[in-house]
Amino acid sequence: MTTESARAVDIEEALRRAGDGVVILDRDWVCVFANPAAARLVGLSLDRLVGHHSWEDFPFLVGTDVYQAYLQAMSVQRVQQFDEYFPGLDVWCEVRAYPSPEGLTVVFRDITRDRRSRDERLRAESDAAANHADRALFEAVVEASPDFVGMAEIDGAVRYVNPAGRALTGAGDADDLSYLQVRDFQTDAGRRVFQEDRLPALTGGQRIWVGPSELPRLDGGAPVPVRLSAFLIADPASGEPSFLATIQRDARPQLAVAERLRAAAEDRRALLDRVVAVQESQRSRIADDIHDDPVQALAAIDLRLGIVERTVRADAPEFVDQVAAVRQSVTDASDRLRHLLRELEAPPLDTSLLDGIHAVVGRALYGSQVRSEVVGDPAVTLPDPERIQALRGVRGAVLACRLHGDVRSVTVRVAEADDGVVIDVQDDRSGPTPEPEGDGDRVRLAAELVGGWCRIDDTAAGRSVRLWFPRL
């Protein structure tokens, strides 16, 4: 063996023992040499590598970064170096391709541990930067919050109170509030609620406690009513409660609005009581002035006109139609007056709402052939002003049925609905018909005067009048 041959054998043996993978390709991309380390790194046997064409026997490599790097190395005769990941083996390799006119020598080095260490370091740095940004954003939001935001140790030592919280309680601008305890931010009543209810609920598994409370003024001022939310913050490692946090919103603006609304509601109720009382007084006065005398007088006139009509029919038949027309006018006037007197009658106030509806329906249909039914819960109630208007609304709707000759039955249903009472008056008239002038408006006004509403619909089943009255 010549010296040169011996040196070649030594080099080949050294390459076989090398820890890095070595693959030699000829100009036709056929593998002419591969050491065991290369076979191990790519997950193939030496027989599967040596003597095989790289792109024909391994077509999945065509178009990859490895393929492009090898072509670049051979075309420009320049060393190419890059990192490559082998998914099947979950291995990262540093690859160096050394070109020559005779072919390409490729050296693989396993850098999985270094690559993963670097990736983990970069990921940790990225997470740290994100956490820092999140913390900065959180601190900015908390510092700018108009609400009291505080945090304390489980044992009660205060760790943090934001600027708005310090201002709300008169705690001052000092950054160090460690000399304060949770109890310093509680009134006597609030402290009892905290010890007996709030803290046991939170430590017992309740995620958050929300309710009204008060914040004392540390400078001696009057306590501030607040809407309080309290929750525990767990230690990320142990999962055990680590801090007590609270957000408390000044409730004085909401309480002031609530007080104005309450006062406005009281004023509205007083005004409504007065309006209904005046209305009922005026109705009663008008009814007393009219009373039944005009009705009796019209009835007497109608009788006399009947006698006149019979006399005219015998002695002057050409005037019969005129006399009949006058008599019909008197009859219509008498009916309208009776209708008005029924409307002016004071509704019964010494009974339940359902009994009152029974009474006004019976009175409105007295002497007619219209059948009636009233259905509902006797326990349904309304305050007096709303009840008066409800009875007047029902009476108006039922009187309109009486004046319609096609109505044979009326059903009134009473039920609770939407913080009030809904009353349905359903008759069986056939098809839509014009209502007497002003009747629908009076029924609507009865509901709207006390903040309710009225809907009148004509359907195939008859006319439906729905009235709703609030229970203020």
| C-beta neighbour count of 284 within 10 angstroms | 13
Indicate whether 99 belongs to any domain: yes
pLDDT tens-digit series, residues 442-463: 889 889 988 899 999 988 889 9
- Mean of the pLDDT values across residues 45-59? 86
Least confident of 58-67, 135-144, 210-219: 135-144
pLDDT of residue 342: 62
User: Of 213, 230, 250, which closes a domain?
Assistant: 250
- pLDDT tens, 142-185? 888 999 998 888 888 888 898 988 889 988 776 667 788 888 88
Please name which of 215, 191, 193, 195 lies closest in space to residue 203, comparing C-alpha atoms: 195
Crossing angle for the helix pair 384-403 and 320-344, nearest 10 degrees? 160
Q: What CATH number is associated with residue 70?
A: 3.30.450.20
Asked if pLDDT for residue 220 goes beyond 80, the answer is yes
Sequence-distant (≥ 6) Cβ neighbours of residue 158 within 8 angstroms: 150, 151, 152, 177, 178, 180, 181, 182, 184, 185
CB 405 within 8 A of CB 393: no
For the chain, what is the domain count? 3
Structural domain of 91: 3-110
Q: Does 468 share its domain with 357?
A: yes
- Higher pLDDT among residues 289 and 119, named by residue: 119
Residue 351's pLDDT band, with cuts at 50, 70 and 90, is confident
Q: Say if residue 247 is exposed, middle or buried (CB neighbours under 10 Å; 0-12, 13-18, 19+).
A: buried
Distance CA 182, CA 128 (A): 32
One DSSP character per residue, 319-373 reads GHHHHHHHHHHHHHHHHHHHHHHHHHSPPP-SS-HHHHHHHHHHHHTTTSS-EEE
pLDDT of residue 345: 65
Is 114's pLDDT higher than 70?
A: yes
Q: If pLDDT is split at 50, 70 and 90, which confidence band does 252 have? A: very high
pTM of the predicted protein model? 0.46
Let me know whether 352 and 471 are in one domain.
yes
Q: Which residue has the higher pLDDT, 122 or 131?
A: 122
Q: Return the number of other C-beta atoms located less than 10 Å from residue 276's C-beta.
A: 19
What's the average model confidence in pLDDT over 336-348?
Answer: 64
Asked if the structure places residue 306 within a domain, the reply is: no
DSSP β-bridge partners for residue 422: 415, 468
**Higher per-residue pLDDT: 159 or 133:** 159
The answer to whether residue 232 sits within a structural domain is: yes
Do 352 and 466 fall into the same domain? yes
Give yes or no for residue 210 having a pLDDT over 80.
yes
Does the pLDDT at position 277 exceed 80? no
Looking at the structure, tell me whether residues 96 and 213 fall in a common domain. no
Beta-bridged to residue 466, according to DSSP, are 424, 455
pLDDT of residue 20 exceeding 90? no
Say if residue 105 is in the same domain as residue 163. Answer: no
- Residue 123 belongs to a domain: no
Give the CATH number for residue 352: 3.30.565.10
Is the residue at 207 inside a domain? yes
d(CA 266, CA 260): 10
> pLDDT digits over 393-417, tens only?
998 898 888 877 789 999 999 999 8
Q: Are residues 468 and 359 in the same domain?
A: yes
pLDDT over 80 (residue 341)? no
pLDDT digits (tens, 9 = 90+) for 359-398: 889 888 888 889 999 999 999 999 888 888 898 899 889 8
105 lies in some domain: yes
Residue 240: phi and psi, rounded to 5, are -80, 150
Greatest CA separation found in the chain? Answer: 169
352 and 472 share one domain:
yes
Asked whether residue 193 is domain-assigned, the answer is yes
Determine the average pLDDT of the residues in 25-31: 92
On whether residue 409 sits in a domain, the answer given is yes
pLDDT of residue 286: 66
Q: Are residues 93 and 150 in the same domain?
A: no
Q: Looking at the structure, do residues 375 and 435 belong to the same domain, yes or no? A: yes
Please report the pLDDT score of residue 388 as a whole number. Answer: 85
| Residues 131-137, mean pLDDT to the nearest whole number | 67
Residue 338 has pLDDT above 70, yes or no: no
User: What pLDDT does residue 39 have?
Assistant: 85
Q: Which of 110, 130, 158 is the last residue of a domain?
A: 110
Task: State whether 59 and 155 are in the same domain.
Answer: no
The helix/strand/coil state of 285 is: helix
Parallel, antiparallel or unpaired: strands 91-100 and 209-215: unpaired
Picking from 250, 282, 308, the residue at the C-terminal end of a domain is 250
Taking only the tens place, the pLDDT of each residue in 188-202 is: 888 888 888 887 888
Claim to verify: residue 95 and residue 152 sit in the same structural domain: no
The pLDDT tens digits of the residues spanning 278-299 come to 766 766 676 666 665 676 776 6
Which residues have CB under 8 Å from 362's CB, separation 6+?
372
